[in-house]
Amino acid sequence: MQKGYQSVLWSAHDDNEDDLKYAVYFRGENQKDWLLLKDNLDQRFYSWDTTSMPDGAYYLKIVASDAPSNPPDVALQAERESERFEVDNTPPAIGKISASPTGMNADRSKGVSYDFQFTASHATNSIDRAQYSVDGGDWILVSPTNGISDYKTETYSFTVRGLSPGEHTVAVRAYDRFDNVGAGKTTIDIAGANGQP
C-alpha cells in the first residue's frame, strides 16, 4: 500500500438481498462530531490518503443503507464504529551528528577510524530502527546505545573504520513504528599523509 494510505474493510448482509450503499465517517479521539469521509460506496472497503489529516487517534463509522432497493419511507440503515487507530505521517527528527577520530593505524594504508553519534526522536511514537551509510554505500543497521529501539528518543553510536584521506559523507536515517523516515548527514575531511586535506 502507498505510504500515507489507510484502508478499512467491513462485512454486511441484508436478509432480503437488497442492494446496499455505504458511507464512511471519521472523528478525532477528542471530537464529538462525525465527519463524512466518503459516501455512496457500493463495495465493502475504502482506502484514503491520511496525509491531509493531522497526526493523532481516530475512529471510523460505517453506515450501511438499503435505500437503493427501497422507497425512502421504508429504507433501513445500520452503523458500526471501528476500534481506535492512529494516523502518523511525521518523520523522526535527527539530532546533530557528532564525529570524532578514534585513532590512526600505524599503517596509513589501512585508513582512519571515526566514532559517530546521533539521536533520533519523535513527539508521539517510538523509534523503530536506524541505519547509516558511508559515501553513498549500503545502509547498515545500527543498534541504540540502550540495546532496544522502543523509546521516543534513542541515541545511536557507531564506528567507521578504514577511512582514506579526503572528504567522506556519512548519512543516517531513523524510522518510527509507522515507517516514517527522518534523515541527516555529516561530512568529515581527513588529512593526507603530508598533513594536508
Binned average pLDDT, 10 residues per bin, the chain of 197 residues: 80 77 94 95 93 92 85 80 93 96 64 94 93 97 89 95 93 94 95 54
Per-residue model confidence (pLDDT) at position 109: 63
Per-residue model confidence (pLDDT) at position 156: 97
The CATH architecture assigned to 5-87 reads: Sandwich (2.60)
Show me where the domains of the chain are located: 5-87, 93-190
Per-residue model confidence (pLDDT) at position 64: 92
Per-position b or e across 22-37, b if 16+ CB within 10 A of its CB: bbbbbeeeeeeebeeb
Q: Is 195 left (phi over 0), alpha (psi -120 to 50) or beta?
A: left
CB-facing half-sphere around the CA of 178: CA atoms within 13 A: 23
Please report, to the nearest 10 degrees, the dihedral formed by the alpha carbons of residues 13, 17, 21, 23 taken in order: -20
Same fold: 5-87 with 93-190: yes
**CATH code for the domain defined by 93-190:** 2.60.40.650
Per-residue model confidence (pLDDT) at position 140: 97
Q: Structure pTM? A: 0.75
